[in-house]
């Protein structure tokens, strides 16, 4: 039902979700070294309800930030949500604590007015984007592709939230394959709760209202997307299951084996494998090579269609191949040494 709510919100452009502070803190703790001396832009955030503004303003000195910019969208379209009831869209800038109380006081925050509506695609917001080093925000889920396109066009570092299904967008996947985009550190499964505007309809499961009238919705399949590196993404996935044709059948229409769970990737197979898109939660670019996405892999004879097993179409699959380890050479006295790195047979057990 939470996914149904998300789809309905997307279709109605009602996807103004406010990320919870605990989720921001759990993710941002993996990247603190990236922020020293940097200008951070939160360009999809009403600072009155944005926990991104809260996090960065209260941790400004600890992170060693240079500047914080937050833009607030003023909705001019009655078909779209917005809590912003001001006459103009605004953007804020914060240079840190000036009076020594370690709190972002109102007089320390510069308030500026947009001529337009503060849309992240507007030229006014693009100029602020050019000034920023890192973008951190929760963009509207319905505009995820457009938002990411803007970040890539202007070559920005970023940490943003989206639905995990976005990895199967052709443009997003090409960035992942090229190791220019990956999933974040803290969210790998389950659902997350987001705040929603007070006029959000609470007529389905997964929605609630607290004692102060604040409304929340639980959404499944949420992930952080980033091009900021963190050490956990370089840890090897531990493999323990042996390969067998019975447990790992080949697709009807493609020369690769099917793996239903990331934890079931065989430890002794070096050919091409189709794995769920959630594999990216554990993806280590030193351990695996990403070959392609099922529907769009170049040598798929049914280009644009998913693979089949016994005539039945599978769920979305990412094609991967393990990178070759340094082979082990066995000496006559049964001692073991590492031989020169070489190529193993395609698809063979090692």
Structure tokens at 75: 């909705």
**To 10 degrees, the CA torsion angle through 302, 303, 307, 311?**
-20
pTM score, whole prediction: 0.84
Alpha-carbon separation of residue 178 from 147, 155, 246, 285, 286 (angstroms): 19, 15, 33, 10, 13
pLDDT at 44: 86
Alpha carbon distance 195, 217 (integer Å) = 6
Going residue by residue through the chain, which has 350 residues, state the pLDDT in tens, using 9 for 90 and above.
Answer: 444 444 444 444 456 688 999 999 999 999 999 999 999 999 987 776 789 999 999 999 999 999 999 998 774 433 333 444 556 788 999 999 999 888 888 889 998 999 988 899 999 999 999 999 999 999 988 899 999 999 999 999 999 999 999 998 989 999 999 999 999 999 998 789 998 887 777 765 678 888 888 888 888 899 999 999 999 999 999 999 999 999 999 999 899 999 999 999 999 999 999 999 999 999 999 999 999 999 888 787 777 788 999 999 999 999 999 997 755 555 555 444 443 333 333 344 43
pLDDT at 198: 78
Alpha carbon distance 274, 263 (integer Å) = 13
């Amino acid at each position: 039902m939470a996914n149904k709510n998300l789809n309905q919100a997307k279709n109605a452009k009602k996807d103004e979700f406010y990320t919870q502070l605990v989720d921001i803190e759990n993710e941002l703790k993996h990247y603190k070294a990236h922020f020293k001396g940097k200008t951070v832009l939160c360009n999809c955030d009403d600072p009155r309800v944005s926990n991104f503004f809260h996090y960065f303003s209260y941790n400004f000195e600890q992170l060693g930030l240079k500047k914080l910019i937050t833009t607030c969208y003023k909705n001019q379209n009655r078909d779209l949500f917005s809590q912003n009831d001001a006459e103009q869209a605004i953007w804020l800038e914060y240079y840190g604590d000036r009076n020594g109380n370690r709190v972002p006081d109102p007089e320390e925050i510069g308030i500026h007015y947009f001529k337009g509506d503060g849309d992240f695609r507007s030229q006014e917001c693009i100029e602020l984007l050019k000034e920023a080093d890192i973008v951190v925000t929760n963009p509207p889920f319905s505009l995820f592709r457009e938002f990411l396109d803007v970040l890539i066009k202007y070559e920005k570092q970023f940490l943003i939230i989206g639905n995990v299904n976005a990895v199967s967008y052709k443009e997003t996947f090409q960035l992942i394959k090229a190791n220019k985009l990956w999933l974040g550190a803290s969210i790998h499964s389950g659902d997350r709760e987001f705040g929603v505007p007070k006029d959000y309809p609470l007529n389905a499961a997964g929605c609630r209202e607290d004692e102060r009238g604040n409304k929340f919705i639980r959404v499944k399949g949420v992930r952080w997307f980033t091009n900021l590196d963190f050490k956990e993404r370089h840890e090897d996935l531990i493999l323990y299951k042996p390969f067998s044709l019975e447990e790992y059948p080949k697709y009807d229409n493609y020369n690769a084996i099917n793996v239903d769970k990331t934890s079931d990737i065989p430890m002794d197979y070096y050919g091409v494998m189709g794995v769920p898109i959630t594999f990216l939660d554990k993806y280590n670019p030193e351990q695996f090579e990403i070959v392609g996405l099922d529907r769009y892999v170049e040598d798929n004879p049914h280009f644009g269609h998913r693979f089949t097993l016994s005539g039945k179409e599978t769920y979305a699959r990412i094609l991967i191949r393990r990178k070759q380890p340094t082979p082990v050479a066995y000496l006559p006295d049964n001692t073991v040494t590492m031989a020169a790195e070489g190529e193993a047979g395609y698809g063979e057990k090692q």
